[in-house]
């Protein structure tokens, strides 16, 4: 189907008529292609920098503007559809999905995650000797919190980290 002067004619008629008509255009308006291309650029940016959903929201807005261009809406309304759809999708993606992803306690890793962890003493800890503890399969140098003696095999809790050494106490001891 081909658009001619606002109307639509069949492809067979268009093949015969188009060489003589100066206003023949293809079925897909140029605005649609432009909005789709802009949408794909925003999707590419989202893949490069994930997490904020900002570029994904703009891609959704671009595809919405492309849909409005397909139906022949003027450029001002296409821009309004782009803006509105981008804002709505941003709020939906960020506040609904983003809030679920960041709900609860801040994720801790590395040495920040060690305080409060439980483990076992693998080498005796005493006031004059730094021992070793096993925390989830990792062996760490450890020192007792109150310069006490902690025997091998005892359950411990990590109080804090000082450099590469853990400060520990016997589990459930206040």
| Res 42 pLDDT > 70 | yes
- Domain total of the chain: 2
6-19 pLDDT, tens digit each:
544 444 544 544 45
Q: What is the mean pLDDT of residues 92-112?
A: 69
Check residue 105 and give its pLDDT.
Answer: 58
- Per-residue pLDDT at 46 exceeds 50: yes
Q: What is the CATH number of the domain that holds 127?
A: 2.40.50.140
11 within some domain: no
Q: Which of 83, 101, 119 is the last residue of a domain?
A: 101
Rg (CA), the chain: 33
Number of Cβ within a 10 Å radius of residue 81: 20
Using alpha carbons, select from 136, 132, 131 the residue that is nearest to residue 119.
Answer: 136
> pLDDT tens for residues 149-159?
999 999 999 99
CA 94, distance to chain mean position in Å, is: 10
Task: Show which of 101, 119, 137 is a domain's final residue.
Answer: 101
* Within-domain flag for 129: yes
Of residues 6 and 121, more confidently modeled: 121
In a domain, 15, yes or no: no
Which range marks the domain in which residue 43 is found? 30-101
Cα gap 145→135, rounded to integer Å: 17
- Three-point CA angle 153, 154, 157, nearest 5°: 130
Length of the chain as a residue count: 174
Q: Is residue 8 in a domain? A: no
| Mean pLDDT value across residues 127-137 | 89
Average pLDDT value for residue range 139-157? 90
* Residue 25 placed within a domain: no
Do 126 and 70 have their domain in common? no
* Per-residue pLDDT, 112: 79
Residues 143 and 95 occupy one common structural domain: no
Are 97 and 115 within one domain? no
- pLDDT at residue 99 tops 60: yes
Name which residue leads in pLDDT, 13 or 99.
99
> Considering the chain, what percentage of its residues have pLDDT values greater than 90?
37
Assess whether pLDDT exceeds 90 at residue 83.
Answer: yes
Residue 10 lies in a domain: no
In the structure, what pLDDT confidence band is assigned to residue 98 with cuts at 50, 70 and 90? low
User: Is position 138 within any domain?
Assistant: yes
Q: Tell me: do 47 and 97 sit in the same domain.
A: yes
128 lies in some domain = yes
Both 88 and 117 in one domain: the answer is no
Q: Could you tell me whether strands 24-25 and 138-144 are parallel, antiparallel, or unpaired per DSSP bridges?
A: unpaired
Residue 135 shares a structural domain with residue 96: no
- Residues 64, 114, single domain; the answer is no
Phi/psi for 128 (5° steps) reads -105, 5
Q: Which of 43, 75, 101 is the last residue of a domain?
A: 101
Q: What average pLDDT does the segment 67-85 reach? A: 92
Rounded Cα distance between 118 and 130, Å, is: 18
Residues 38 and 93 in one domain: yes
């Amino acid at each position: 189907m081909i658009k001619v002067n606002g109307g639509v004619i069949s492809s067979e008629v268009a093949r015969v008529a188009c060489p003589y008509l100066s206003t023949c255009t293809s079925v897909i308006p140029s605005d649609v292609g432009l909005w789709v291309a802009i949408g794909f650029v925003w999707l590419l940016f989202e893949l490069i920098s994930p997490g904020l959903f900002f570029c994904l929201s703009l891609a959704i807005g671009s595809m919405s503007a492309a849909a409005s261009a397909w139906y022949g809406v003027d450029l001002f309304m296409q821009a309004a559809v782009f803006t509105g759809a981008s804002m709505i999708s941003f709020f939906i993606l960020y506040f609904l999905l983003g809030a679920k992803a960041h709900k609860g306690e801040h994720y801790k890793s590395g040495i920040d995650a060690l305080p409060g962890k439980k483990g076992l003493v693998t080498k005796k800890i005493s006031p004059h000797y730094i021992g070793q503890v096993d925390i989830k399969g990792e062996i760490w140098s450890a020192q007792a919190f109150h310069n006490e003696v902690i025997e091998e095999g005892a359950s411990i809790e990590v109080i804090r980290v000082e450099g590469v050494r853990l400060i520990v106490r016997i589990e459930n001891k206040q």
